[in-house]
Structure 1
Amino acid sequence: MLKHFKYIFLFLLATSSLISKGQSRNLRLYDQRPIHFGFYVGINMYDFQLRMKEDISQVADFYGVRSEVSPGYSIGIVSDLRLGHHLNFRFLPSFVNTERTLYFDMVNKYSGERLIQERKIESSLVQAPFELKLKSDRIENHRWYVLTGITFSFDLASKEKVEDDLIFKLKSSDLSYDFGVGMDIYFEYFKLSPQIKAFFGVNDLTVQDGTVPVSGLESTRTRGILFCLTFE
């Protein structure tokens, strides 16, 4: 799936270059504005970094785990503050919907059989990303940039306090550090910015509820990637 994102990103850059090539210099004074706004839409792939305990042979009824990701969507508002010719500060309040599936190799507590058991985790995240955007010099109607920042997340769909042994629970609050790369493409009336951004969760989201899946895990952290188009 990451390979597909790379191809989509390169295709958009090539197409946008052809569209804007030969045009006059668009939005000449746009980057001189002290503050401006926009929005973004994107496709995300959220996964987990699962760290099992060092010696799972000592953990009763637990033999292993793997994850499977599904594409989700992200939408958000862009608030951009100009700090200098090459640097901007950005705040992007967002809503993210995503789904992940964990497959546990463990003993079923009811039948006593060793089975691969599925746990689906649906998340509806309200996020508050804060970013620094470092930009290159503008060349005609293009400008490259890199991003770095942090994101605070709260999961509206969290089942952290639900008492059910068949649910793999995650804590509702998370913090991640983020890195991204993209390109600003200036058209006559707006700026389009395709970008790819990666997320690396800091917090251990494991809820210690005493169930077998939790007993074999040392930590559960978020990993994710976002491909999006920003319109400003």
Structure 2
Amino acid sequence: MKKHLIIAFVLISVLPAHAQIFTNNEKVKNNPNFDKQRWSWGYFLGFNSYDFNFDYIDYIPSDATGKDFSSDRTIGFNVGLIGNLRLNEHLDLRLEPGVAFSRINFQFYKGEVHAFREINSTYVHVPLLLKFSTTRINNFKPFVIGGLSTSINLSSNQNNPDDNKDGQFRMKTNAFYYEVGFGIDLYMYYFKFTPSIRGIFGFTDEIVRDDDPFSTYTRNIDKMSSRGVFINFTFQ
């Protein structure tokens, strides 16, 4: 799934740019004054694929495959707004509050214990990012982007009194991440269209451990953090 998302992004992004690079004449520029605005606004739609990264206290593989946990990524959906502040010709500060819907099919392998959890999450995701752009070439402009973000997991179950022994997987409501990615601004006649791909990497512990300190499920977890891939299509 992840590879298919990346391939689709590359095709959508590269083909328009390829057509413009290998032309003999300079194109007529669409929206030539767009990037001179101090502030600009927009919205984005996109897809995501989430996963978990685990650090163990004592790593002792629990099954023949050498895994304590495994997860099956699925494709989720993103939607949100964009506020962009132009700092100079090549640098912008962006706030991109949005909502991300995701699902992870998650399995525990603990000796004879083999448990399945379907983890459905709804995140209010708020990144603050710096966007570094090249000089505009005809009607496109590549960029790299990175920064920090936070999220509120509306489906976290953090305060649920039930835990894994009752079939409930619990996560903390708040988490923090760093993000890095790239994309291409494509200047259309009436608006700017931007496909981009971004990786997000959690750096805080997001798991709520079971009430039993000797729980088969959580006793050996030192840290669990989210990671994911976002493919967004922005309209400004």
Query: Shared topology, TM-score over 0.5?
Result: yes
Distance 2:81 2:72 in 1: 29
Counterpart amino acid of 1:72?
Answer: G
Question: 1:68-118: CA deviations, max 9, x gaps?
Answer: 2111001110100000000000001100110112211126xxxxxx14210
Equivalent of residue 101 in structure 2, options 97, 109, 122: 97
Distance 2:59 2:81 in 1: 45
Question: 2:171 corresponds to which residue?
Answer: 170
Instruction: Determine whether 1:189 maps to 2:186.
Output: no
Stretches of 4+ moved more than 6 A in 1?
18-22
Contact residue 13 and residue 183 of structure 2 kept, 8 A: no
How far does residue 44 in structure 1 lie from its aligned partner after superposition?
Answer: 0.1
Question: 1:124-154: CA deviations, max 9, x gaps?
Answer: 1111110000000000001000001111100
Equivalent of residue 43 in structure 1, options 44, 47, 67: 47
Contact residue 44 and residue 227 of structure 1 kept, 8 A: yes
Distance 1:160 1:170 in 2: 5
Question: 2:132 corresponds to which residue?
Answer: 134
Distance 2:6 2:126 in 1: 26
Counterpart amino acid of 1:45?
Answer: S
| Pair 65,86 (structure 1): closer, same or farther in 2 beyond 3 Å | same
Question: 1:148-178: CA deviations, max 9, x gaps?
Answer: 1111100111101112231111101000000
Contact residue 168 and residue 213 of structure 1 kept, 8 A: no
Coordinate RMSD, CA, aligned: 1.9
Counterpart amino acid of 2:139?
Answer: N
Question: 2:141 corresponds to which residue?
Answer: 143
Normalised to the residue count of structure 2, the TM-score between the two structures is 0.88
Distance 2:220 2:60 in 1: 6
| Pair 17,55 (structure 1): closer, same or farther in 2 beyond 3 Å | closer
How far does residue 55 in structure 1 lie from its aligned partner after superposition?
Answer: 4.3
- Is the partner of 1:230 in helix, strand or coil? strand
Instruction: Determine whether 1:80 maps to 2:84.
Output: yes
Instruction: Determine whether 1:206 maps to 2:204.
Output: no
Normalised to the residue count of structure 1, the TM-score between the two structures is 0.89
Equivalent of residue 225 in structure 2, options 198, 212, 221: 221
Distance 2:61 2:231 in 1: 40
Contact residue 56 and residue 216 of structure 1 kept, 8 A: no
Gaps in structure 2 of 5+ consecutive residues:
none
Question: 2:155 corresponds to which residue?
Answer: 157
How far does residue 18 in structure 1 lie from its aligned partner after superposition?
Answer: 6.7
| Pair 19,39 (structure 1): closer, same or farther in 2 beyond 3 Å | farther
Distance 1:161 1:103 in 2: 22
- Number of residue pairs aligned between Structure 1 and Structure 2: 222
Counterpart amino acid of 1:184?
Answer: D
Gaps in structure 1 of 5+ consecutive residues:
108-113
